[in-house]
Chains A and B, each alone.
Chain A
Amino acid sequence: MFARALAQLTRRPLTLLGLCIVILFLFVAVFGPAIAPYRYDTIIRGAARQPPSAEHLFGTDRLGRDVFSRVVWGARDIIFLPAVTTALSVIFGTCIGLLIGYYGGWLDEIVSRALDSLLAIPALVLALVMLGTIGPSPFGIIVVIVMLYTPIVARVVRSATLNIRSQGFVEAARLRGESTLYILFQEILPGVLPALTVEAALRFSYAIFLTASLGFLGLGVQPPSPDWGRMVNEARDSVSQTPWALWAPAGAIAILIIGVNLLSDGLRRIFRYEGQVE
């Protein structure tokens, strides 16, 4: 099924575009330091506020740092942090969702209401309060976003589990005395995976957005590290003199999110189509 999904992927140009964008950004994130002509904190003497040129692809900012290099270095955090938070949310959310979906009853009632109440708090408000108390740090960002996204993933997995748990093959597994762990991960999880893949891609794009927003508010990675959100904020004051210092990181965020969204949208269509075939 996943092999067929991959074949489908190549037949959808927009999805393919999304995939290419994501791969490009991943490449930059991994090999960034090798590509970038300067370090992110190198101040080039006498080269402040230079417009884009062959030497400085995206120009330089008001302190004389190469914007292209800063964007390239910054790719690592903007992809690494959301990737970690997405992975953790998916793992926690899947475990919780499978358990409450399979057992139902009181456990489901209590846990679902708890998750709902977490979801009721606006994301940025929770982030501001939490990071305000524990202090801004990459670790803090991970904790906050995992707290915000685990309930969402759990709800998706729970509803998929509800559909599967009463099917004949799950009952057949119970009748041969399988353990709950086996039933959850061997019988039910494969059926949840398509929905989960789509949800994970969606969470990833939201996590990028939220990380950038927190960086913009100064609650993310601390200076002089190149955080795209923070770079946008810093360049805001001198937008009339060095617009490129604002446009480069903002554009990078936009393109990455568009890429991830195109990919997740394509995945959703592919899996929905696959579901109809069966």
Chain B
Amino acid sequence: MTVPVLQVENLNVDYRLERQWLNALRDVSLTINPLEIHGLVGESGSGKTTLALALMRYLAPNARISSGTISLDGDDLLAKSPADMRRIWGKDISLVPQDSLASLNPSYPVGDQIAEVTRRHQRLSRRESWRQAVEMLRRVKLADPETVARRYPHQLSGGMQQRVTIAMALSTQPRLLILDEPTTALDVTTQAVILDLFRELIRANNAAALYVSHDLGIVAQLCDRVTVLYGGEVMASGPVATLYRQPLHPYTIGLLASLPRPTPGVETRLPAIEGAAPSLAERPRACVFEPRCPAAIPLCAEVKPALEKLPDGRLVKCHRWREIASGAVQLPTAPVQQTTSAPPRQRTVLQADGVTKRFGESNLLDQILGRASKPVRAVDGVSLRIRERSTLGLVGESGSGKTTLARCIVGLTTADEGELELLEVPLANALSQRSRDELRNLQMVFQNPNDALNPYHTVGQALARTIRRLSAERLTDEDIRQRIAQLLAAVRLPAEYAGRYPAELSGGEKQRVAIARAFAANPALIVADEPTSALDVSVQSVVLNLLKDLRARESTSYLLISHNLDVVAYLADWIAVMYLGEIVEEGDADDVYNPPSHPYTEALVSARPVPDPAARQKIIRLEGEVPSARHLPSGCRFHTRCPRKLGAICETEAPPWRDAGDGHFIRCHIPVDELAELQAGPPDSKHEDR
């Protein structure tokens, strides 16, 4: 029998807060075998980062490991002295952090930083360690590693920085690699490339890895085994394939079911996990998941279930797993079909024509000094139309200009050129020239719920102010009180929340208040910029359902912006794909998943991590970085990265709009039927046999 690389048994970690010890991890056990990638899934507050840090014995000063064992290759880590641990860090255990820019020293070239690791741990000479650093950068597939090694962190893009931290983590050939949400800050297309790299390098290095993530899709695609953490306890653990195919724990079932996924032609509703994860001090004493569990019975609130081992080696901590396994207890496992859907109307809510926004235009002083620079064309002549009671989804990588376009529409940024029409009446580009009625009809939901509400105003004050400012008629205090109660009920928050301050609300609750505020005065269009990207998976489904319900009830339209195609497709009936300030494809939401589509859209679809280990997807990886919007590529802007590039014509001539029928348009040199043919091929086998 092989010795596991990492074995954790009955680990308990406490935090000292407000003069008492609170239990953060309770009896966590975990085994990682050689060559295995072990996924650790959990929402914020589940203790997944605490576990990752505890494994490295790198906890905060107010934390302690109160009991349990951690062994690395059979060697007891808890018995090591601090000096021993310093030799182990970076050599036997390496960490790839979430924020790569923050973990690289800004004042040294990245090559020096990688070389320092091998110089310290393997006592290599300066020249030898530098040579090896360059070699590591080559292995993480950075083009021109010699040059990259001499660059400073800020001169590299996010994807390149993350590759540097991976190179650094792997340079000493560690036994165990801990990856703490290493792709959260990256675009999907970059994420796909980085995940491929992990898979390849971990195997080539004969290492094992713990992959900490909240994204079930990534875990499905990358990991061999998964452990699901909730409230500091292991809920379930097992091989990826069986755990996803037949989840036995209500929490795992709920998490998987609440992920939006493409359902062509069917209007669906996500089964959501109600409530919020408990804070450290408020964790239930019996089953931690009981308050949110749809299958809870009185026993669950009294007796803590044991972590049971199934015959096939899976672990599950639930009183009712046998009933779930036998089918006696049925929990919703997939989005359910929704019948009460109101179809979009024909009337146009918003029309944009040739909207253009440039940043960094040279001013008079620059021109006199002769240092005039080319402006960044963030949005370049974009036209779009949103119908009443419909949702236009806008997708694209960071830097595509989607947020700038949204801000131009609501007026937070004034467009340089182009015409806007709201409800078929011309709309001024500048916010200060818009009437109260126009302001009322155009509201926005922001990305970060934590700064969307003023921390010094109560929920009620925030809503009242918006209602008072935007309502056409004069309202009495009683009218406003009623409207606030109505709004809170609409976003499914208790009425007493009106008296609370934002600090007393969870992230999901804050976002619901922000949505209520946007709806306060019956707007015609709400622009939602990544409304769920800062939220946990289980909260995301609640917010998405809410947006869907409110659209049907209030006859509001949305402009929904997201990098997550599945989120967009769940809500949107029409999708526009943006690349470098231009729309490259638009059409019905279901059409973008199917051929023919723009090569860029095709790449976005294939890069999306599907939460199904058995799924076979086309592998299309975009090489290189998004070009700078200051120096736009000639011809087709996508030609520098396009896997289906034809030849010289793509570099010299702007591609034409091609009609794929039913209002579906693609901006590409390749004719529609040829695209369909190229893309209809069978999906390539996903990766070599696992």
21 residue pairs from A and B, CB less than 8 Å apart: A168-B448, A168-B452, A169-B453, A169-B454, A172-B514, A174-B431, A175-B410, A175-B412, A175-B439, A175-B442, A175-B444, A176-B466, A176-B470, A177-B434, A177-B436, A177-B470, A178-B469, A187-B454, A277-B503, A278-B455, A278-B503
A190 is an interface residue with CB less than 8 A from chain B: yes
Chain A neighbourhood of B455, CB < 8 A:
190-191, 278
A133 is an interface residue with CB less than 8 A from chain B: no
Chain A neighbourhood of B570, CB < 8 A:
none
Q: Which residue of B lies closest to A163 (CB)?
A: B451
Shortest Cβ distance from B267 into chain A, in angstroms?
A: 30
Q: How many B residues face the partner with a CB closer than 8 A?
A: 28
Chain B neighbourhood of A278, CB < 8 A:
455, 503
Q: Which residue of A lies closest to B520 (CB)?
A: A176
Over the window 167-202 of chain A, the binary record of Cβ atoms lying under 8 Å from chain B Cβ atoms (1 yes, 0 no) is 111011011111000000001001100000000000
Chain B neighbourhood of A187, CB < 8 A:
454
Whether the pair A167, B412 counts as a contact (CB closer than 8 A) is no
Selected from A172, A177, A178, A190, the residue in CB contact (under 8 A) with B446 is A172
In whole angstroms, what is the CA distance A174 to B414 when docked?
Answer: 13
Whether the pair B469, A177 counts as a contact (CB closer than 8 A) is yes
Chain A neighbourhood of B431, CB < 8 A:
174-175, 177
In whole angstroms, what is the CA distance A47 to B602 when docked?
Answer: 100
Q: Which residue of B lies closest to A177 (CB)?
A: B439
In whole angstroms, what is the CA distance A278 to B431 when docked?
Answer: 31
Tell me the B residues contacting A by CB distance below 8 Å.
410-412, 431, 434, 436, 439, 442-444, 446-448, 451-457, 462, 465-466, 469-470, 503, 514, 517
In whole angstroms, what is the CA distance A277 to B503 when docked?
Answer: 9
In whole angstroms, what is the CA distance A177 to B442 when docked?
Answer: 11
By size class, the interface of chain A is 10 to 19
Tell me the A residues contacting B by CB distance below 8 Å.
1, 167-169, 171-172, 174-178, 187, 190-191, 277-278
Q: Which residue of A lies closest to B527 (CB)?
A: A175
> A-B pairs with the 3 shortest C-beta distances?
A168-B452, A190-B456, A168-B446
Chain B neighbourhood of A175, CB < 8 A:
410-412, 431, 439, 442-444
Chain A neighbourhood of B469, CB < 8 A:
176-178
Whether the pair B470, A190 counts as a contact (CB closer than 8 A) is no
Shortest Cβ distance from B459 into chain A, in angstroms?
A: 12
Whether the pair A171, B446 counts as a contact (CB closer than 8 A) is yes
In whole angstroms, what is the CA distance A176 to B431 when docked?
Answer: 10
Chain B neighbourhood of A1, CB < 8 A:
456
Chain A neighbourhood of B442, CB < 8 A:
175
- Given A175-B411, A178-B469, CB of A167 within 8 Å of CB of B439: no
Selected from A169, A174, A178, the residue in CB contact (under 8 A) with B451 is A169
Q: Which residue of B lies closest to A169 (CB)?
A: B454
Q: Which residue of B lies closest to A164 (CB)?
A: B451
Shortest Cβ distance from B56 into chain A, in angstroms?
A: 24
Chain A neighbourhood of B444, CB < 8 A:
171-172, 175
In whole angstroms, what is the CA distance A235 to B465 when docked?
Answer: 62
Chain A neighbourhood of B503, CB < 8 A:
277-278
Chain B neighbourhood of A172, CB < 8 A:
444, 446, 452, 466, 514, 517
Chain A neighbourhood of B448, CB < 8 A:
168
**Inter-chain pairs besides A167-B451, A175-B442, 6 sampled, C-beta below 8 Å:** A168-B447, A168-B453, A175-B412, A178-B469, A191-B454, A191-B455
